[in-house]
Chains A and B, each alone.
Chain A
Amino acid sequence: MGRRLHGRGALFDTDPAGLAPRLVGLRPHQHRAHQVEHAQELPFVVLTGGRGLGKSAVLVELRDAYQGHTPVALIDCEDAQFAAPPSGRPAEAWSPVAQALLVIAEQLAEPVTGAGRIQFPRLMSGLVAVAAGGWGDADSERIRREVERILLLNESGSWIAHFAGRWAGRVAANVVAAATGTGALVSSAIEATLESISDSFVHRRHQKAATWWRDHPNAGGNARRGLMLLSGHFRAEGSSREHAERYLVRALLADLAEAYAGMLPRMQRLGRPLVLLDNSQTAPGPGLTDAVLRDRADGIADRVAFIAALRGDSRPALRNAVRRTLPEVARRSEWAPDPAAWSSRALLVSLPRLGPDDTLHLVGAACAGTPAPARLPPATHRLTGGNPLGITLLAEAAAQHLPGAASLGELLVADVRLHAERDRTPAYLELLDRLVPAEHLDELTVLAAAHDHDSACALAAALLPDDFGPADIRSLQTRLRQEGLPAVPGRFVGDPFVRTLLLLRLHHRDPDHTQWRTAHETLVEHYAPTCDETDAPARARCRLHHQLALGTTDPAVDHLRDTFPTLDTRTWLRSLRFIASAPYFHAHDDQGRDFDGQDDRRAAVALGGTDAATRPPDGVDPALHLRIRRLLHAVWQLTDPLALPDPTVCHRLRFELEQLSNLRPAGNALLWRASRDWPEDALAGRPLRIPDDDEDGEA
């Protein structure tokens, strides 16, 4: 069955059937019919989610599952061919939607098991009429090239046609002759095209197709006139072009309906045709989606299964669409359109992140030949948060670098080769390339360290060009929201995985880590104590957090030691967790150079290896000071998403919390339960939970 997508069974399952077989009416990868769920009208399915959630992978898998079994077309709306007209072609006779329709029809035309090619005479006539509008000053060679590609949509591919010579070639000659002759150009080309199909001796279906354009509004029962109007509307641009494009979409759907109508096609074809639109947030995606949805709302039914992928949660135009999560539609979609809202004919299905089991399978599959540490899959899941792209790439990096690399951080920094023909690049850069809008990567790299708008402004002022002001920061925040990245209070970049990657980039941006240091120093400065005492504890925590990121541990130890007897235990634990969530990079000297290699020194401190060399400040309880120091380092190590949790450190963490619980009779129970839960959570790759605390955030 080829590649299996993990965690997407709700789409591809056969028994019981997932969403895809229920929509298409065919089992994936098999030529076996399946009961369709929506026999009368089917939903326009839109898969939503941020970058890296596997939307494209799902569409490619859908195409592979159904190719050869039912007509399938897959286009990527971000593809260059839809961005601008090819050279020499005027914009008035080209649009992304028209180009997409041509490409979709070309793919749908391919023969499948049991049935031959599909012909598109209606769409062909319409596209010729549209293209003819741009032939005013074209040479005959360009006209012939353009028209022949369009005319190939009507090739039957049968041996009779082959015997009679290629139909498209002959008709193209006629059309070129008509277009370059005297008289009205567009009209002559349309006339020649219509004649070619209405004169066709092949069959009745062509005759029917030749009369389809008669029903165009104001055509007055004349197909030629209908096509002339279409051509005119298309050239007029604006809403007229939208109107023309709707008719072209309708022509495509009518041709498809024709291919499925009648006794013989019903006995030859199983299921429904499938059209897959990737990146449908970009043109021609919205144009195609809206045209189909509006036609369906107008009662012009079709039997085509559309599945589009949309980056983000939704588009404003789809505000009334029915929303489901993928697990909800696994067995029944329970979808029913609202007659009053055309966009309710879309079914938005959000793709969930992968679970720990799927992560385990993915890593296991990639590292089939290498012995991977048992802690790697849960740690990978903790780092990526179930992001399929992140898991896949990390698994690939692990396969290429294990057993050399000791931590996830090393795996991310190491070069990976994803394709034989491509150069090796560091994994984190490869991931950022695909998870973050490329044009905002630099800004985001800096702003990732920020916690809120104010801190972001401080960072931007320190590290970004002057023209990047607070407004740009807000627009960037909106952009992230549109891309489907979660908004988390206390984090400028809400997705922990993306944030970790951005901070990694920030750290490695220059050899002496200047930007990294500057960013954290700026924030330490930003959170310096002020006169206003209301938010002093919160500011202190942020300050200590960034100091820790810079490798300065003593203020954090002092703060935690001093607040331990006084602060509410729950708050104290939260503070500990937040401060220890600082990114860790091995120690650097004052110039930022590495000074003790690549070692992770946190474990050594956590296990008490450095206690003898440490002198607690005078006047404090040395035992408590050292214990708090060990505890901080243990939590820092165990919650670091880039490190593999160390079981010995876990054991020590448990011991230290137990000991602390003896010192605080009031917080005894809470500390004792944390001593049980935290090591367990750390090893399983879960965030550390504070017992009975609903708020699992990091603040």
Chain B
Amino acid sequence: MARGPGGWLRESVWEIPLRRYLALLLGLALVTGLFFTVRALAHDDRSCAPGVVRPENSEECVGVATTAYDFGHPQLRDAVQAIDRENDRLRPGSYVTVALMLPYTATTPSTLSDIQHELQGAYLAQYEANHSSNGQSPAIRLVLASPGATGAHWVRMVDQLERMTKSADRLRAVAGVGMSTDGNKAAVQELTGRGIPVVGSSITADDLANGHQGKDPFPGLARVSPTNTDEARALASFAKVTAGKALLVYDKPGDPYTRTLQMSFAKLIKGSPYEPQPFTPPADRSQEGTTANTFRQITHLVCDTSPETDTILFAGRHTQLRQFINALGGRGCQERKFTLLTGDEGSYLTGEKDLDRSALEHNLSVRYTALAHPDAWVKDPARTGGSAEDARVLTDLLAKSGRAPVGPIGSVGLEDGQLIIAYDAMRLAVHGIREATAEGRVVPPLADVGLQWPQVKGSLRVSGASGWICLDVHGNPYDKAVPIVELTPEGRSRFVKIAWPEGKAPGKECLPPS
């Protein structure tokens, strides 16, 4: 009798109980297998590492990495592995966590180099805190918080960090922050708004600080870098800039960094006979854009100034700075000597291949404020505000970092100051945490950490490798040493002098005036 497949199934399988039950078992196993296979195939694995995922519509890995995850950059691998080794060593319950918030997913080589150096600095501070502080508790665990290259995915990261404050991670501070972008500013605002202390490392923008225009929008934020205003003031005190001798070139509309620098410069040269010269770069300031033409026109104006004018104040980002220097190299009045002063963006030009280095050989010197400089305390020994001994703690650690147990941590570079400033930021965070830890307790309450910042002064100051860190009531460093460096024709930075925002080094007691 002809039977279809349905009939066969009915009569040769279903009707015979033994075969029916075996077939049901087999079918169940197949369905289960199929379910898991389909789920595995259909599932878009958007995770990068534990705690780190790629959000919808984005290929960036964002979140908080608690393992040795290098965000796809082999350059960072040694440093993250060193941090992971140190984290793994910690006994559960004995530590608190500090997150290092940086744009790990950035791709530009100069930014990556900064991140690598900041990682190294933070790690060295962690290592020092866990190994060379007479068994002070708690121990410090370091995790990497990534808000994306521009900080766009800060909401996810902030939520994750907040959860970590309540979990066994016991997150007590966020260090780093990186560039002064709008996303990062919002992230800091949210973090501090939720009571998580933040220690800014390389941020210099005035409006990413408390005390600006008398307001404290970021309660619990401490910084180790001077504000743009302080940098400008230090520059001014170094170069004796007066209104009649300087011309201001600025980024319009600018970002928080350039705007505060521009305002600080403008204040210095109030009443200048020369109108400040604006330029408008692309929104992403790492792009070339058409500003090179603008700068060529500005060089004519520069040459048109009166002979006593020898200073150009530049309020802009490093790409535009490079274009301006290249333009100045081709200026008409080569015989006139000019000094270009700018903020810490100048540090990016060391090792910059597109820079026309010959420009620096024709009566043009480029000087800028650095966040820190390895030669600062060696070449300019000051009695107060910082010391070579303080700096040597770090250099000794660096000497050991090439091999176990400290290293390896990858190739080290100190000239951009990022390593030093991250090291200091981390030390400040550790200082705050340990100061907030009550006697006999291991873990400080989260709220108490941020309350320590106003007390960091006098004998409770942090003697950082970049100089003394004495915080005012707003959490900003008081009279922080500002190394002035000069860009050499070889593309390196040469330490010139330490300048002080207040015009001189702070007193021994290092107490901000009220």
- Name A residues whose Cβ lies closer than 8 Å to a Cβ of B: 1-2, 29-33, 113-114, 264, 266-268, 270
Contact = CB atoms under 8 A, between A and B. Distances in A.
A31 B17 contact: no
Given A1-B1, A2-B1, A32 B10 contact: yes
A268 B11 CA distance: 12
A268 B15 contact: no
Nearest to A32: B15
A32 B11 CA distance: 6
B18 interface: yes
A259 to B, nearest CB: 15
B21 interface: yes
Given A30-B11, A31-B11, A32-B10, A114 B18 contact: yes
B323 to A, nearest CB: 87
Nearest to A271: B15
B17 A266 contact: yes
A30 B18 contact: no
A32 B15 CA distance: 6
Interface string B1-37: 1000000001110011111010000000000000000
A260 to B, nearest CB: 13
Given A267-B17, A267-B21, A268-B18, A114 B1 contact: no
A33 B15 CA distance: 7
Contacts of B17: 266-268
A29 B18 contact: no
B16 A29 contact: no
Interface string B219-244: 00000000000000000000000000
A367 to B, nearest CB: 26
Nearest to A31: B11
Interface residues of B, number: 10
Nearest to B3: A30
Contacts, number: 32
Contacts of B15: 31-33, 114, 270
A40 B18 CA distance: 24
A279 B11 CA distance: 33
A267 B1 contact: no
Q: Main SS of chain A's interface residues?
A: loop
A266 B16 CA distance: 9
Please name the 8 residue pairs, one residue from A and one from B, whose CB atoms are nearest each other, closest first: A31-B11, A114-B16, A267-B18, A267-B17, A29-B1, A268-B18, A32-B15, A31-B15
A269 to B, nearest CB: 8
B455 to A, nearest CB: 83
Contact of B16 (A1, A2, A30, A113): A113
Q: Main SS of chain B's interface residues?
A: helix
Contacts of B12: 31, 113-114
A318 B266 CA distance: 132
A31 to B, nearest CB: 4
A267 B22 CA distance: 11
Contact of A267 (B10, B11, B16): B16
A268 B12 CA distance: 11
B1 A30 contact: yes
Nearest to A65: B1
B18 A264 contact: yes
Nearest to B19: A114
Contacts of B18: 114, 264, 267-268
Contacts of A270: 15-16
B317 to A, nearest CB: 81
A509 B102 CA distance: 122
Contacts of B16: 31, 113-114, 267-268, 270
B451 to A, nearest CB: 77
Given A31-B16, A32-B11, 4 more contacts: A114-B18, A266-B17, A267-B17, A268-B16
17 contacts: A2-B1, A30-B11, A31-B11, A31-B15, A31-B16, A32-B10, A32-B11, A113-B11, A113-B12, A114-B12, A114-B16, A114-B18, A264-B18, A267-B16, A267-B17, A267-B21, A268-B18
A113 B16 CA distance: 9
Contacts of A2: 1
B19 to A, nearest CB: 6
Contacts of B11: 30-32, 113
A29 B7 CA distance: 12
A618 to B, nearest CB: 75
Nearest to B16: A114
A681 B16 CA distance: 54
A570 to B, nearest CB: 56
Nearest to B12: A113
Contacts of A32: 10-11, 15
Contacts of A267: 16-18, 21
Contacts of A113: 11-12, 16
B8 to A, nearest CB: 9
A29 B11 CA distance: 10
Nearest to A112: B16
A202 B298 CA distance: 106
A547 B316 CA distance: 144
A458 B21 CA distance: 76
Nearest to A69: B11
Most chain A CB within 10 A, of B10, B12, B16, is at B16
Most chain B CB within 10 A, of A31, A32, A267, is at A31
Nearest to B21: A267
A14 to B, nearest CB: 12
Contacts of A268: 16-18
Contacts of A114: 12, 15-16, 18-19
Contacts of A266: 17
B307 to A, nearest CB: 111
A59 to B, nearest CB: 19
Nearest to A264: B18
Contacts of B21: 267
A270 B19 CA distance: 12
Contacts of A29: 1
A1 B16 CA distance: 21
Nearest to B22: A267
